[in-house]
């Protein structure tokens, strides 16, 4: 059944004051390549039924390994895209692209196998592994941005984020039963707000204690409310229930926005304190005079950039 599409500027468009777009899946620039490799291996599948029993099994197994390897490679590309997007990230636990390349190489070698030509089929498999590496690259093998972060806290934060994401996924699955694309988009916008909080916890696991209720109890409540609303709306199309649910999402989104802002302001305050303490220490040690503006004056030979020229101290402006 067709569904009416509604956007921000459509009549009765999505209500929400955050101005965010729905959360989009992170996509790797090479993510479309694995399917073309699978399509290129289709001759193994098509010619299998014209072979003897041994050739039939070899061709089918070869195609299956190549297809499975390309699926694994695609999952590795998704994991790499998520890794690249985040400033703080662990390396993927499983090197999916490596495993995908090995499976594809085995599939190529098996598909090219001929009695008495094992060395040739092996060389084809090795060449396939090399081409896979050239086409898709290697998996991220190092964690990034985790220097000085407690691994125990990081593990706790990762578990809480996984639980929160599970609640969000259940919300999206439930709202699909309503049959309303606009409501699905509204839940996606709420998910984008929650993802901002997730990203802050990933970067600073020490914030977990301050947002535990939001990532646990509040998201669980949002999931339960969404399930009940979806069941009710699918049966009755109650406009009043729909308005109440959308207002509920807006209020909850405002709460998450406020919490994210508090965490950011707390980080800025900590940074200001660190800078102030360091400046005072340098001043006491005589390295830098206290309360002295060291920016070059306009026209000074010390000015090396346009920013230096534009940041003229107030006393220089007074002299001119």
pLDDT tens per residue, range 42-85: 988 888 888 888 888 888 999 999 999 999 999 989 888 877 77
pTM for the complete prediction?
A: 0.54
- pLDDT of amino acid 3: 44
Long-range CB contacts for residues 153-157, cutoff 8 Å, separation at least 24: 153/205, 153/206, 153/208, 154/90, 154/205, 156/205, 156/208, 157/201, 157/202, 157/205, 157/208
- pLDDT of amino acid 26: 66
* Segments of the chain with pLDDT less than 70: 1-26, 88-89, 144-152, 265-274, 277, 286-320
DSSP letter for 6, please.
-
End-to-end CA distance of the chain: 74
Helix (H, G, I), strand (E, B) or coil at 89: strand
What is the dihedral sign for C-alpha 299, 302, 303, 309? negative
- pLDDT of amino acid 269: 54
Q: Give the span between the Cα atoms of 80 and 154, in whole angstroms.
A: 19
- pLDDT of amino acid 208: 74
- Locus of tokens 């993510």: 31
């Amino acid at each position: 059944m067709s569904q009416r599409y509604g956007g921000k500027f459509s009549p009765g468009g999505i209500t929400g004051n955050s101005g965010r777009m729905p959360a989009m899946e992170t996509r790797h620039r090479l993510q479309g390549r694995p399917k073309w490799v699978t399509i290129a291996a289709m001759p193994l599948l098509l010619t299998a039924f014209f072979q003897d029993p041994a050739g039939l099994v070899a061709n089918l197994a070869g195609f299956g390994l190549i297809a499975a390897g390309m699926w694994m490679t695609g999952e590795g590309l998704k994991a790499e895209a998520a890794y690249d997007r985040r400033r703080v990230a662990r390396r993927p636990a499983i090197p999916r692209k490596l495993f995908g390349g090995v499976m594809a190489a085995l599939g190529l070698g098996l598909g090219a196998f001929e009695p008495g030509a094992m060395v040739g089929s092996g060389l084809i498999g090795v060449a396939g592994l090399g081409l896979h590496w050239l086409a898709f690259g290697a998996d991220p093998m190092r964690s990034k941005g985790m220097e000085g972060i407690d691994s125990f806290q990081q593990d706790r934060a990762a578990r809480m984020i996984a639980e929160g994401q599970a609640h969000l996924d259940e919300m999206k699955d439930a709202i699909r039963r309503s049959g309303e694309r606009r409501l699905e988009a509204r839940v996606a916008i709420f998910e984008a707000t929650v993802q901002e909080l997730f990203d802050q916890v990933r970067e600073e696991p020490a914030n977990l204690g301050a947002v535990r209720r939001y990532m646990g109890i509040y998201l669980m409540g949002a999931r339960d409310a969404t399930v009940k609303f979806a069941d009710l709306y699918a049966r009755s199309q109650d406009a009043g229930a729909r308005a109440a649910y959308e207002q509920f999402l807006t209020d909850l989104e405002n709460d998450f926005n406020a919490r994210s802002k508090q965490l950011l302001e707390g980080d800025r305050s900590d940074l200001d304190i660190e800078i102030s303490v360091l400046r005072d220490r340098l001043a006491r040690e005589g390295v830098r005079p206290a309360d002295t503006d060291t920016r070059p004056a306009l026209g000074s030979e010390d000015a090396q950039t346009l920013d230096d020229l534009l940041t003229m101290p107030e006393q220089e402006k007074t002299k001119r």
